[in-house]
Structure 1
Amino acid sequence: MPKNTDAHELHRAVLEAQLDGLLYLDSGGFIRYANAAAGLLLDSSAADLVGTTFEYPLHNTERTELEITLKDQEKRILEARVSGSENGLEGHVLVQLRDISDLRQSNLIHHTFYDHLTDLPNRMLFKDRLKLELFHSQRSRKLVAVVVLNINRFKSINEALGYTLGDRILQLVASRLRETFRRSDTVARIGSDEFGLVLPGLNKAEDCSRLASKIITAFEEVCTVDRHELYLSVCLGIALHPDDGTTVDTLLKNAGTALDRARQQGRNTFQLYSEANQTLAYERVELERQLCKAMDNEEFEVYYQPQISLVDHRILGGEALLRWNSIGSGLVPAYHFITLAEETGLIQPIGDWVVRTVCRQIALWEKLTDRPFCITVNISPLQFSRDGFVDNLIALIKECGLDTSHLGLEITEHLLMKDVSVAVRDLRRLKELGISISIDDFGTGYSSLSYLRKFPIDVLKIDQSFVREVTVNQNDAEIASAIVTMAKALNLTVIAEGVESREQLEFFQRLGCDGVQGYLFSRAIPVTEFSTFLTDPNIFAAKAC
């Protein structure tokens, strides 16, 4: 570094005054100049640095982070920026050093305690803040509400529309929750599709209902995400300190128990924790234990519910429905254990057992009657999406030697939308074999005319939620009418589920519906009783007329 002119002295003074460290390296990597700040940053003196080599790797014109070990073994993170020398000497570089240890530490703390997608506190920070609020509430004598929130059907949305859009939905939910509550409240993401809230300073338990309604209202408006219009809904579980627990883990557990109860009741619902909920949670764990043993204990049985033609009033066939006669709990309703089987993955072996049982039974019925009939089996998304499902079904059909026109599969709208190209391919293979394909619970999912044209479907089953009040609710009547009209335009068969009254039957007869199924004709019955129905096709003629 030149020294002999006033300009050079001024230049040196300016360099020495810099807070950033400055090093001037020659082509061999030797330090020819170091200012005082560089000496401090490198745990040395400027004079001792001159003449030594700079032992840390540098990348020309790029930002480099260097980890320096000081004499006392403390670590320091330096940012190094490299540029060519001002006087143009070839191979000479100027290195600017800046201590970013505090910034790195701050970023590390943020990454440790905040969710990277939503920038909300994560589960760790949520529990820490809850612990602090519990301490404060002991002095203020105020209640603290712990809320666990779950997005309904988020997994289905994720699988149908993609994980990128799923991430955008999570960000939108986080934003709406932040906008809904005070800065003193904690809103956190504590699971993949679960959010937690700590709401301190409540005066009475009744305040929770108001807060829960406030949350649900925040999601009543349509959400537009990347040009998709979605109606999101949530379920909430709420536990109160000190009534429902005095520790962080107990309150979280009890709020989770309340959330499970809210999920069972439907969308946009909330539940406060109670001892009764806790009892239900224990019962659920026990039911899961029994379910795991049910296959080995041969506790399952297939019942059949008849489907009746509204054209000739004969029996069309029936729907195979699983029944569980538990050794420990007696007859368990399907809506209790089917969801549990899906959540635990047991639905796959149970579903396979049902398909095998039905196929073997169809082969027996073929020997009893030569009249046409079709027995439909519900297929879960886990079964259908599993590799080899179609091939295994084909092998089973060959093994039983049954006529494939006697077998039908019932699938849901959501299943079709998980992977459209794969679903179309597999359904076409099944259709080519002569297997009938029904869409179950039609009207509760996407209900799109475009996808009905795309998939090789034979039957639409109108969901019983529309059938139930079709004679007293104009909206349900119009929906049912629209479904029948659309199905007829596409040359599809329509069956109304859950027909329980003569008035409902006459309504669907007027619409030109092809068939019905429901308690008006028969509940689901054991195989021996259904065999009698199947061999006497006119058994329901009087009721259907």
Structure 2
Amino acid sequence: MPIKEITESFSLEKIVPFFQPIMDLEAESVWRYECLARLINEQEVTFLPNDFLFIVERNNWCQQLTETMLLQSAQYFRHLNIPWNINIDTQDLLNPKLIPFVRDVLAEYPHRERISIELTAHAALHYENELAHFVQQCSELGIGIFIDNVGATPVNVQRLLSLPLTGVKLSGNLINHYVEDPQLQQFVDHVCEVAHAKDVAIVAEHVENQSTIELLKQLSIRYAQGFLFYPPGKEAMSH
């Protein structure tokens, strides 16, 4: 893809949230949405973060991107009766201005309990103290925390789940190779056992076929996300 196509007229205003459903397999309906950044250029071509994040990082616009995504998503869901998640990265976790910004945005926001922030297991592993403080601050604001991509990085599940999390999202690799890999089976079974005991939701990521659904039901994993539910490029757009 030509870099020129993105860089020539790039601006943060052209980045908008698209919404991927996280499904409730028991209810067979959408449980909540994950808000993902997409860039739309002048020709209305949609680009994924891998295509444009280098510009954001090069210009030190990471904080502004997080803020604009939060503002747009909050506005879209303000009067909708559906929970939603927004992603942050390590820089956001370490940014002392993020929580004050979130607090201001949500000052008069209805039903804050529908909002959750997603953070990768990689960031959780490397910044445990900061994560614990961040989770506490989010709890005080009445919003939830999901840990994303669990299993892609070695992590102490027991310690992670000692925090008051809303949910954990299991890396697609864990479920895709569960049947043939005893070590993965042990890890997934342990995560499920601890999460269920603590009433933390478990989401399976990158679900692409019906046979995976049958496995998830056997594992008592209620929530799932992946191309089986939204083919590539078919996410809902904010506006």
TM-score, normalised to structure 2, is: 0.85
Please, which of 84, 101, 112 is the counterpart of residue 392 of structure 1?
101
- Cα distance, 1:331 vs structure 2: 2.4
What's 1:428 paired with?
136
Residue in 2 that maps onto 1:357: 72
3-state SS of paired residue (2:50):
helix
Corresponding residue for 2:174?
466
2:18, 2:238 within 8 Å by CA — same for their partners in 1? yes
Which position in structure 2 is the counterpart of 1:520? 228
Which residue number in structure 2 is paired with residue 446 of structure 1? 154
Letter in 2 for 1:321: L
Is 1:362–1:406's contact at 8 Å kept on the other side of the alignment? Answer: no
CA shift in 2, pair 1:299/1:466, >3 Å: same
Q: Deviations over 1:229-269 (max 9, x none)?
A: xxxxxxxxxxxxxxxxxxxxxxxxxxxxxxxxxxxxxxxxx
8 Å contact 1:362–1:402 — kept in the other structure?
no
**TM-fit CA distance, 1:410:** 0.2
SS in 1 for 2:137: helix
Alpha-carbon shift at residue 473 of structure 1 (Å): 5.5
Structure 2 distance, partners of 1:345, 1:311, is 43
Structure 1 SS opposite 2:96: coil
Alpha-carbon distance in structure 1 between the residues aligned to 2:174 and 2:59: 30
Indicate how the Cα distance of structure 1 residues 511 and 343 shifts in structure 2: closer, same or farther if over 3 A, else same.
farther
Contact kept in structure 2, 1:307 and 1:315, CA below 8 Å: yes
Letter in 1 for 2:87: N
CA shift in 2, pair 1:482/1:323, >3 Å: same
Task: State whether structure 2 residue 24 is matched by structure 1 residue 294.
Answer: no
2:237 counterpart letter in structure 1? P
The Cα of 1:486 is off from its aligned counterpart by 3.1
Letter in 2 for 1:308: M
Q: Could you say if the C-alpha distance between residues 340 and 494 of structure 1 is closer, same or farther in structure 2, counting changes exceeding 3 Å? A: farther
For normalisation by structure 1, the TM-score amounts to: 0.40
Cα displacement (A) at 1:474: 5.6
Hey, what does 2:32 align to over in structure 1? 317
Q: Aligned in 2, Cα 1:472/1:446: closer, same or farther, shift over 3 Å?
A: closer
Give the paired residue count. Answer: 236
For 1:527, the aligned partner's letter is S
CA RMSD of superposed structures (Å): 2.7
Deviations 1:486-533 (A, max 9, x none): 3223331100011110000110011000211112122422236xxxxx
1:334-382 CA distance string (max 9 Å, x none): 23333553455322211110011111112132xxx4xxx3100001111
Percent identity, please.
17
In structure 2, distance between residues paired with 1:505 and 1:483: 18
CA contact (8 A) 1:467 1:496 kept: yes
Structure 1 pair 360/476, CA: closer, same or farther in 2 (3 Å)? Answer: same
Greater Cα radius of gyration, structure 1 or 2: 1
